[in-house]
Amino acid sequence: MVDSPHATLVGASQAGPPLAARRPGRIRRDALLLAVAAAFTLAQLTLVRPGMGLGWDETVYVSQVSPHAPAAFFSAPRARGVSWIVAPIAAWSSSTALLRIFLALLSGLALYLALRVWRGVFPKRVVALGGALFASLWVTLYYGPQAMPNYWVAIGALACAGCFLRARADRSDRAALWGVGAGAALMALMRPTDAVWATLPLLGLLLCVPRRRHLGLLAALLAGLAAGTAPWVIEAYISYGGLGQRLADGSRIQGGLGWNIAVDDQLRSLSGRTLCRPCTGPPAHIAVAAWWYALPLFAALGTLVAVRARRPAPTLVLVACAASAAVPYLFMIGYAAPRFLLPAYALLAIPVADGLARLVRVPGGKWRTVAVTLVVVGLAGHLAGQFAVLTRTVNRTVEARRDWDRTAVELHRLGVRPPCVLTGHLAIPIGFYAGCSSVYTEGNNTNVTRAELLRTSRRTPFAVLTPPRAAPPDYARGWPVHRSGHLDFYVAPSARPRG
């Protein structure tokens, strides 16, 4: 028999055994969730190399708090949450391995806490299976130890929805109210617009079915969103010309938000393309993408199971929040990245697990054997596919970022050493590796004028980066050209090579 949230809360309010006696019981109840979180952490440390260099977006976030490189231009759509999460390590250490280990441990702990919220709302085995399904996706494992916001939005969404249901069931559950606010604030600190989309069903439920006893829950949700969004809004007025201008700039940088079906783009990205822009080529092979096609089917099965068991509310809330969180990335943007849908995957994981659990409990010996076999074989194939994509993606990423590091070393040899300035192709990440500032006179990261850039090139070690054999800007055509990896760079006379 599964404890209900009400029963759990009642039991917690009664006098129980001493704390020392209760702790082993709590550990036993959480053993499955702890095992899932521990396996997730270990898989990150094993499969995603701690020494893997920082990516483009990571260098932007880390550079904001790192003393080892100038802060890169912070474009309008970005929020400061990731920079604050990495600050405990990045503020004093330049070790990428140490940062990866820290984030892997933190992401494992966060997964455990988010899943623990659902204990008692769903059977423990269902919650653990849901956590395992989410944690075993290549995109979850790949981004868990990275300085990127999407995993944290997913964790915030999962915790917020669970605490919402608990607080709605019991007004006296103050911890759940705090959890609603904390989950909403975490999402908003990472990506304010994603937080709004993920909580729309919760806000709609509270506003469309108003009850006086739920005013505290509404206040907690709104307060969390406001607290998390406040730094972004304040920064909009300080640095971006106001909130409206920042939203407009964010939309422009993302290609203009509006009706645009990107489902096929997401399918193309499932094979390990971390950014699909422009998104051309065939969709991912069916063996790799089968889980994506099956996801809505098993979510529907989980919903049917919940309705028939007369406990539809938790599943419907999860499915509604997942659908809402996915809308902008499936229907309103002109490109794709698999990490964009991490919040939707986290929210759907438990309903999917509920559906799978029902399949293996099919009555009748023969049919049950068939169902269990199909589920086991399907999950084994799914895990094999995820492992293959993850391994390929990590290997490709490691090699690309080694090229960036080699380019930084070559720039230093040619005299482009801190304090230095780079512009052009990949100037932001390579600037971070080289300890240089990155500047642009056009595009999404424009932060200087042409006149300012020319003045800088005369007094500061300076280089222009281009793809191989691409024409440099007119002011750099007479400068010496060098090549490293897949880049050409034109070094200004202000640089002084080592003797």
Residue 76 pLDDT > 90: yes
- Name the band, by pLDDT with cuts 50, 70 and 90, for residue 283: confident
Q: Quote the DSSP letter at residue 261.
A: -
For residue 26, what pLDDT is reported?
A: 61
278 or 88: which leads in pLDDT:
88
Identify whether the C-beta of residue 217 lies closer than 8 Å to the C-beta of residue 164: yes
Write out pLDDT tens, residues 285-316: 888 899 999 999 999 999 999 999 888 999 99
Write out pLDDT tens, residues 112-139: 999 999 998 999 999 999 999 999 999 9
Across the range 418-422, mean pLDDT stands at 95
Write out pLDDT tens, residues 331-376: 999 899 999 999 999 999 999 999 999 888 877 667 788 888 889 9
Q: What is the pLDDT of the chain when averaged over all its residues?
A: 91
**Which of 64-68, 109-113, 351-355, 440-444 has the weakest average pLDDT?**
440-444
State what percent of residues in the chain have pLDDT above 70: 94
Residue 8 pLDDT > 70: no
For residue 465, what pLDDT is reported?
A: 97
User: In the structure encoding, which two tokens stand for residue 56, read together?
Assistant: 């483009």
- Name the band, by pLDDT with cuts 50, 70 and 90, for residue 433: very high
Half-sphere exposure for 447 (CA within 13 Å, toward CB) = 18
Cis preceding linkage at 419, omega within 30? yes
Q: Quote the DSSP letter at residue 69.
A: S
Write out pLDDT tens, residues 186-209: 999 999 999 999 999 999 999 887
pTM: 0.92
Identify whether the C-beta of residue 156 lies closer than 8 Å to the C-beta of residue 183: yes
Comparing CA positions, the residue from 62, 71, 27, 206 lying closest to residue 148 is 62
Comparing CA positions, the residue from 160, 133, 135 lying closest to residue 145 is 135
DSSP H or E stretch at residue 481: strand 481-484
Q: Determine whether 210 is exposed, middle or buried from the number of CB atoms within 10 Å of its CB (0-12, 13-18, 19+).
A: exposed
- Name the band, by pLDDT with cuts 50, 70 and 90, for residue 379: very high
For the chain, the domains span 5-10+24-359, 398-491
Residue 87 pLDDT > 70: yes
User: In the structure encoding, which two tokens stand for residue 19, read together?
Assistant: 């704390």
CA dist 335 and 251 (Å) reads 13
Question: Going edge to edge, which strands form the sheet with 462-466?
Answer: 437-439, 421-424, 462-466, 487-491, 481-484
- Name the band, by pLDDT with cuts 50, 70 and 90, for residue 499: low
CA dist 425 and 399 (Å) reads 18
CA dist 457 and 475 (Å) reads 10
- Name the band, by pLDDT with cuts 50, 70 and 90, for residue 278: confident
Q: Any idea of the CA torsion for 200, 297, 265, 135, to the nearest 10 degrees?
A: 80
Integer angstrom CA distances of residue 423 from 38, 127, 231, 440, 457: 42, 48, 29, 6, 10
CA dist 410 and 425 (Å) reads 16
